[in-house]
Amino acid sequence: MIYVPSRMGQLNRRALLRQLQKLGVASRAELAKALGMSQPTAGKIVDELLTAGVLEEIEVAETVDKGTGVRGRPGRQLQLNQSRPRLLAIQLGLQETNVAALALGIPVADQWHFTFEIIKNEKNPARTWEKSLRAAAQKIGGQNFLGVLLSVPGLVDEPSNRILFSPNIHWTEKADLAKTVRRIWNVPVLLVQEERALALGHHLANPASEDFLLVDFGEGVGGAVIVGGKPLPSPLPISGEIGHTPVLGNRRLCGCGAVGCMETLVSLRGLLESFATATCGKKNSWAQLREHISAHGLEAWLARSLDAAAVAIAGSLNVLGLRRVVITGSLTELPPSVLAHLSAAVQNGSMWAKFGSVECTAAPRRRTAGLIAIGIDRMVVPDSFPQKLSLTKSRPKPGAQNP
C-alpha cells in the first residue's frame, strides 16, 4: 500500500503517541530513535502536538556522567499532557454511573470524580439518567473537552454508536446515549464496550503483556482479547461474551433471555444468591461472603460455580490459542483461595498446560486508562487530523442545551 504524505504523517503521529504512552516520559531524540524516524520528522510532530496541548514539556534533574563526574544541565522531557483535562469519561453500570474529567496522561488507578445512582423501576430511565448527568455536568464546570468516551456493557456496535443488546440494562437498547450526552456537552461522543476498555487499560499498564484474555467479574461476566497489543478484530459487533456460556444443570434465568448462563452463577448477584441459599437466607451481603470464605474455605457450591467459569475460560484459551488470563473485578476482592481454585481449574482444562505454562493472574480495573487510549486514537489523532488544534475553541457551557 502506498501512503500519501498526509496519511504517513497521521501514522507517524499515532506511532509517536503510542510510544510515549509506553515510555511515560521521553526526549525528542529518544522518541525518534525508538520509532526509527529522523529527528527533524519527530521534532515537527512533537511541535504540532505541543501546540495542540496534547503533549507538554517538563524539566528533569541535571545529569551526572558516571565516568567523568561532569554535571550536565537540566534537560527537558516530553509527556502526555497531564496538566489539563481534555477528555470526559463516563461509565454506565447497572446500579450507578461514574463520571471523570481526564488528562491525557495514563492514570495509575481509576479515579471517578462524580457518581450517581440509577433508580430502579423508573418509568423513563433514559430521561432520569440524562437529568442526573446534567447535574454532574454542572459540578464539573466548563471544560474544553475534545470528546466524551462512554463505557457501556453489552453488545455494542461502536462504529454506529449503538447498543444492540444489553442483557442487564435493557433500557439502553432504545436510548440514543450518544445523542443524550451531546445535548449536554457539544463534543464528539464515542460508545466503548466496557471490557475492551478494561483490556486496553491493562495492556497500557503492562506493555509487556501483549497477548491475553481479560475476564471481568461484576454485575455480569464479560471478556476481551488482546493480541499483539491490540484488540482482536471481529467481523460482528460481538466478542468476549464469555458470561453467556451455558452451564449444564444450571436452571437460572439470565438477563439475556436464556437459561443457565455462566454469569448467573459467578456474577455479583449470582454468587450472593447461591450464598444466601447455602446459609438458608441468613447471610446475603458481599462482606459476609468474604468473611465466610475466610472462615470456612471454598464450600462445594462455590467450587462448582468457579469450575463452571473455568470451563468457559479454558475453552476460550483453547480456541484462541492463548495462555494468559487476566481476572479483574469482584472475584479479586475475595480471599486468595478463590482465584487459586479458579486458576487451577483453568489450567486443568487448557490444552497448552500440557506443553507449557498457562498464567491466570488478578489485576485491578484500569478502565480510564483504556478510555484515554481510545480517546487519543479516535479523537486526538483521528483519521482526519486537523492542521491546528485549538485549546481555546469556545464550547457551550456544561449542562446547557444546544441551540
The confidence band for 207, taking pLDDT boundaries of 50, 70 and 90, is confident
| The three grid cell numbers given for residue 375, joined into one nine-digit string | 480517546
First vs last C-alpha separation in the chain: 44
Summarize pLDDT for 372-385 with one digit per residue, the tens. Answer: 999 998 888 876 54
Per-residue pLDDT for 241 more than 80?
yes
| The three grid cell numbers given for residue 195, joined into one nine-digit string | 471490557
Residue 22 pLDDT: 83
Residue 397 pLDDT: 46
* Identity at 79, one-letter amino acid code: Q
Residue 144 pLDDT: 81
- Which superfamily does 87-197+367-380 belong to? ATPase, nucleotide binding domain (3.30.420.40)
- The whole-angstrom separation of Cα 332 and Cα 389 is 42
- The whole-angstrom separation of Cα 55 and Cα 13 is 12
Q: Are 370 and 196 in contact (CB under 8 A)?
A: yes
The confidence band for 334, taking pLDDT boundaries of 50, 70 and 90, is very high
Residue 18 pLDDT: 86
Per-residue pLDDT for 90 more than 60?
yes
Q: Burial, 274: exposed, middle or buried (Cβ in 10 Å; 0-12, 13-18, 19+)? A: buried
Q: What is the percentage of the chain residues whose pLDDT exceeds 70? A: 89
36 vs 402: which has the higher pLDDT: 36
The confidence band for 71, taking pLDDT boundaries of 50, 70 and 90, is low
Strand residue runs (E) in 61-113: 76-80, 87-92, 96-102
Beta bridge partners of 190: 149
Helix (H) or strand (E) holding 50: helix 39-51
Residue with cell 495492556: 203
396 vs 224: which has the higher pLDDT: 224
Which DSSP letter does residue 380 get? I
Residue 132 pLDDT: 94
- Average confidence score pLDDT of the chain: 88
Q: Closest Cα partner for 363 from 245, 200, 239, 227?
A: 200
Angle at which helix 28-35 crosses helix 5-23, to 10 degrees, equals 110
Q: Closest Cα partner for 58 from 27, 84, 87, 32?
A: 27
Which DSSP letter does residue 305 get? H
Per-residue pLDDT for 74 more than 80?
no
Q: Are 266 and 260 in contact (CB under 8 A)?
A: no
Fold of 207-362: Nucleotidyltransferase; domain 5 (3.30.420)
* CA–CA distances in Å: residue 360 to residues 42, 161, 287, 308, 339: 39, 33, 24, 16, 8
State the average pLDDT over residues 7-19.
Answer: 84
The confidence band for 10, taking pLDDT boundaries of 50, 70 and 90, is confident
- The whole-angstrom separation of Cα 189 and Cα 149 is 6
State the average pLDDT over residues 25-37.
Answer: 92
Residue with cell 496541548: 53
218 vs 208: which has the higher pLDDT: 218
Summarize pLDDT for 263-314 with one digit per residue, the tens. Answer: 999 999 999 999 999 999 888 899 999 999 999 999 999 999 999 999 999 9
Per-residue pLDDT for 396 more than 60?
no
- The whole-angstrom separation of Cα 319 and Cα 316 is 5
Per-residue pLDDT for 66 more than 60?
no
Q: Was domain 5-59+76-80 assigned CATH 3.30.1490.190?
A: no
Summarize pLDDT for 101-139 with one digit per residue, the tens. Answer: 999 988 889 999 999 998 777 788 999 999 999 999 998
Q: Which of 78-87, 91-100, 174-183, 192-201 bottoms out in mean pLDDT, i.e. has the lowest?
A: 78-87
* Identity at 166, one-letter amino acid code: S
152 backbone dihedrals φ, ψ, rounded to 5°: -135, 150
Residue length of the chain:
403
What is the SS3 assignment for 161-217?
CEEEECCCCHHHHCCCHHHHHHCCCCCCEEEEEHHHHHHHHHHHHCCCCCCEEEEEE
CATH 3.30.420.40-classified regions of the chain: 87-197+367-380, 207-362
At residue 343, the 3 state secondary structure works out as helix
Residues of 351-373 as b/e, b for ≥16 C-beta within 10 angstroms?
A: eeeeeeebebebbebbbbbbbbb
CATH 1.10.10.10-classified regions of the chain: 5-59+76-80
